[in-house]
Structure formats: C-alpha cells, structure tokens
Amino acid sequence: MDETMNETARTPPFAPFEWLLSGRYLRARRKEGFISVIAGFSFLGIMLGVATLIIVMAVMNGFRKELLDKILGLNGHLLVQPLESPLTDWKDVAERISQVDGIRLAAPVVDGQALASSAFNAAGVLVRGMRSADLNNLTSIAKNIKQGTMEGFDEGQGVIIGRRLADQLSLHAGDTITLVAPKGAVTPMGTTPRIKPYKVAAVFEIGMSEYDASFVFMPLPESQAYFNRKDDVTAIEVFTTNPDRIDAFRKSVTEAAGRPVFLVDWRQRNSTFFNALQVERNVMFLILTMIVLVAALNIVSGLIMLVKDKGQDIAILRTMGASQGSIMRIFLITGAAIGVVGTLTGFFVGMLICLNIESIRQFLSWMTNTELFSPELYFLSRLPAEIDFGETTAVVIMALTLSFLATLYPSWRAARLDPVDALRYE
C-alpha cells in the first residue's frame, strides 16, 4: 500500500496517460455522442465569440481613426476665434502662431453658408475662404484632387468643390456653379441676396461623404468680399504635429496670439460624436463578451455530463493508483483543449476577416445586390478595420481565462468522486 502511495506521489503532472485519456474523451463515440456535440457547440461558440469580438473592435477602431483623420485633415486641431474686436490683424496673429514649436499650420479662414446651384439641382453648402498656400498644405485636399487643378487658385474666380456635391449638381471641372448668400448688398430697399457665378477650378474627394457633399473652397480675398468681411476673417485654424497633445499647445498659442482670443480644440468641437462612438464601442464589447461566456458555460455543462458518464472509469483509475490530481488534470486538459483550440481558431479567423474586410464587403454587396455600407449613413466611402494588438491580446487572454475557469468545477468534482460509491452504483 505504501509503495502504491509513493508511486502515486511520484506521478509527474500532465503525464502522457493524462493527455491520452483527455484525447479519448474528446473524440466522438456512440455512447457519449451527445457530450461530443456539446463540446462541438462550445468550440464553435468560443471561436465565433473571439472572432466577432476581434472584428467588431477592429472595425470600431477603424471608424474612429478614419473619422479622426478625415475631420482633423480638414478642420484645425485648435480654432482661434476673436474676442472683443474683429480679427483684422489676422496676418500678424497667424504668423506669430505659426512660429510656435509644434504648430504645423495656422490658416486664416472665412466661413459662411450659401446655396449652391446649377442648371440641374441645388444644395446648401459651407463656403470656406482660404489662401492658396494654406490649402496646398492641407494634404487631405491637395492630394485628393480628382478633376481640375489648384494652380492659380488665388488669382482667378474659381472655387474647389467636393465630389459628391459635383455629382449632385451634375458639374465637372470647368463648369459654372452659382452661389447665393443671404446677406449681400445693402440697398434702400434692404439687404438683397448676393448671387454670383464661379468657375469650378477643381473637384476633391477625401472619402468622408459629409465633407465631399457640403464644402466649397474659395480664395480668401474673394470670400471676404463675398461675405462682406472687409479686412477681417472668421477664425484661424491651427494644425499641430500631435492632436492628442492639444492641451500642451493651448497656453503657447494664446500667448503667441498677442490679443484676446477664444480657443476651441477638436475634442470640444466633436465631443458628442466621439463620446457616442466610445460608448457604442464599450457596449458592443460587453454584449459580444456574452457569446464567449455562454460558450464557456457550455464547457461546464459538457464536462459535468462527461464526469457523470465516466464515473466508473474514474473509480477504476483511482483503484489503479491514479491520484486526485491526475483525475483533475485529465478533465482540465479536456475542457481547456476546447477553449484553447476555439480561441486560437477564432483569433486566426478574426484576423483573416479584418485584413480582407473591404473585399468581403464588396463581395457580399455584389452577391446580394445591395449597398451594405452606405457612405451617406456611415460618412466613409469604405469599411475600415484597424487592428489594435493590445485589445486583440486582451480578447484572447479573456477567452482563455474564461475557458480555464469553466473547467475548474467539473474537474474538482471528478477528483472528489469516491471510487467505492462510483463502483457500487454502476
């Protein structure tokens, strides 16, 4: 008896026979076919849960990154607005701000609303007056000209419009667009609307439908005359080298302005939008985690049924000298194998889909003959996916942890099984 106990005590953890028995329990047999079915569903649940979590998190990250790039590519990271008096000294203020370390561009702008029309249609637009040099430094515009050219933008009477606006008004580069502003010349009969035709010098497409459909860029001197601004501008758009460090630039920009100004950063201008994205992202993570949790609970139920079915086998193993630890490890390996294989398969499936998500979207759209990703609804012209390896690692670790925890109770029950009782009732 002592020799048997010593032999048992010397049994190494995760011995070959433990792996062998775990493998046999995982393979389908007629008697425990139902248990294998439960194991299969557990595997599928964990695989789909992990893959879906990775895909959804990547798409949400892609949305945020793409939208941030589009929004900050066109609008400044910091908006400098005048206080107390109009911004008539905008040239000096912009020059001083541009000298601040970390400031990439300080662009004076004149913003105003107008009605854009052609012989075919009309649409409300936001007219933005900018200097040609500043517009050339906006890579989101300068590098996305689809028709025409930006050469001589300051000299002529031309404007630059978005691709969707051009399509809506049936216009091309070289055509004429008519802009109608509500406040024009002041006459004895009152203020009359200002109606003026402009040549379409170029057409841009940045990929964000809201901007492509509503922005019209005009030379700064012309916009000042068109909107009755005289010698002042609406604001100065400041672009930094790192928008995430915008707080560090506030004090230096205020000091460089040299006059009373009011600063609004990109987070304040888009706080509602990005907060909604963050809330949606967190909620989706919690909801999809439930898929992995349900799959883990399936592992618990499957292992409990397996332990009940293998009661006699456990008793015989115990009488042959197997320790409680060995029995527990056998069922730990059985349950953990489902979780590990399911998690790794889900990881590879999720990564594969993320890397080819736009091609998959186009294929599904072609198959179903429907538009699965409307640019008007989602603001972007393509489905983005940005894989965050930290988040992906956290998803994999979470799935593995849940799978391992799910095996503890059934394995503990198997190890605590009394051999005498098991053999008596068999």
Instruction: Find out whether 309 and 31 touch, Cβ atoms under 8 Å.
Output: yes
180 class by beta-carbon count within 10 Å (0-12 exposed, 13-18 middle, 19+ buried): middle
Question: Residue 405: its pLDDT value, please?
Answer: 85
What pLDDT score does 116 carry?
A: 92
pTM for this model (two decimals):
0.66
What is the predicted pLDDT for the residue at 125?
92
Q: How far apart are CA 196 and CA 194, in angstroms?
A: 6
Paired strand residues for 240 = 103
pLDDT computed for residue 190 by the predictor: 61
Nearest one of 335, 318, 329 to 35, comparing CA atoms: 335
Q: CB–CB of 18/323 below 8 Å?
A: no
Q: Could you tell me which of 261, 417, 397, 387 has the C-alpha nearest to residue 339?
A: 397
**Cβ distance 100 to 249 under 8 Å?**
yes
**Which stretches of 206-332 are assigned E, i.e. beta strand?**
215-219, 235-240, 261-265
Copy the structure tokens of residue 176.
């004429």
What are the backbone angles phi and psi of residue 12, rounded to the nearest 5°? -70, 145
pLDDT of residue 108: 92
- For residue 282, the model assigns a pLDDT of 83
pLDDT at residue 110 in the model: 92
Contact (Cβ atoms closer than 8 angstroms) between residue 407 and residue 299? yes
Burial class (CB in 10 A: 0-12, 13-18, 19+), 269: middle
Going residue by residue through the chain, which has 426 residues, state the pLDDT in tens, using 9 for 90 and above: 344 444 444 555 666 756 666 666 666 555 555 556 777 777 888 888 888 888 888 888 887 777 777 777 788 888 988 887 888 888 888 899 988 888 888 999 999 999 999 888 889 999 999 988 888 888 888 888 888 888 867 666 689 999 999 999 999 888 899 999 887 666 666 667 888 899 898 999 887 778 888 899 999 888 888 888 888 899 999 998 888 788 888 888 888 888 888 898 888 887 787 788 778 878 888 888 888 888 788 778 777 777 776 666 667 776 776 677 777 777 788 778 888 888 899 999 999 988 888 888 778 778 877 766 665 555 555 677 888 888 888 888 888 888 888 888 777 877 777 666 655 555
Beta bridge partners of 82: 261
